[in-house]
């Protein structure tokens, strides 16, 4: 992929967040992140349970998929623990997983209410 294509791809998947929102998401991330600032699948699912995000309509499979897709996009030196061969999320990829979840879970409601899916999910997470 050329540099120009990478920039377009990054802009397509980026979301501009206010500093207060980033600070709150950092707090949420740090509640389940390990000492090395990574989050494994178990803690990711526990976070989803704590925030009442799981439901009959949106079960573990959607959270597993968001985790795996975000972990796969992490750089090898930070997003993949070489010693234990486990996939983990780093902070930025955690944010990516949340935007993917928001699109999957809240896109229909966002369309009906004419508001962003991430904003709806963020409000419900708090």
CATH of the domain at 62: 1.10.238
pLDDT the model gives residue 114? 73
Examine residue 77 and state whether it is found in any structural domain, yes or no. yes
- Confirm if 33 and 43 have CB atoms less than 8 A apart: yes
CA angle 37, 39, 45 (to 5 degrees): 155
What CA–CA distance (Å, rounded) separates 52 from 77?
A: 32
Model confidence over 50-105: pLDDT tens digits? 988 888 888 899 999 999 999 865 454 555 545 545 789 999 899 889 888 888 88
Q: Phi and psi dihedrals of 86, rounded to 5?
A: -115, 145
Examine residue 53 and state whether it is found in any structural domain, yes or no. yes
Structural domain range at position 75: 18-125
Count of structural domains within the chain: 1
CA angle 23, 26, 31 (to 5 degrees): 135
Examine residue 10 and state whether it is found in any structural domain, yes or no. no
CA angle 46, 53, 75 (to 5 degrees): 60
Window from 1-5, 101-105, 120-124 with minimum mean pLDDT: 1-5
Residue 126: how many other CB atoms lie within 10 Å: 7
Examine residue 4 and state whether it is found in any structural domain, yes or no. no
């Amino acid at each position: 992929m050329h540099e120009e294509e990478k920039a377009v791809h990054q802009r397509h998947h980026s979301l501009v967040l206010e500093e207060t929102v980033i600070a709150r998401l950092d707090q949420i991330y740090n509640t389940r992140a390990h000492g090395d600032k990574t989050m494994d699948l178990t803690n990711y699912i526990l976070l989803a349970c704590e925030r009442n995000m799981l439901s009959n309509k949106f079960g573990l499979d959607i959270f597993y998929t968001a985790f795996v897709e975000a972990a796969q996009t992490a750089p090898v030196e930070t997003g993949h623990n070489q010693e234990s061969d486990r996939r983990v999320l780093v902070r930025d990829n955690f944010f990516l997983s949340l935007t993917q979840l928001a699109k999957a879970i809240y896109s229909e409601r966002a369309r009906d209410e004419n508001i962003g899916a991430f904003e709806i999910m963020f409000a419900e997470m708090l």
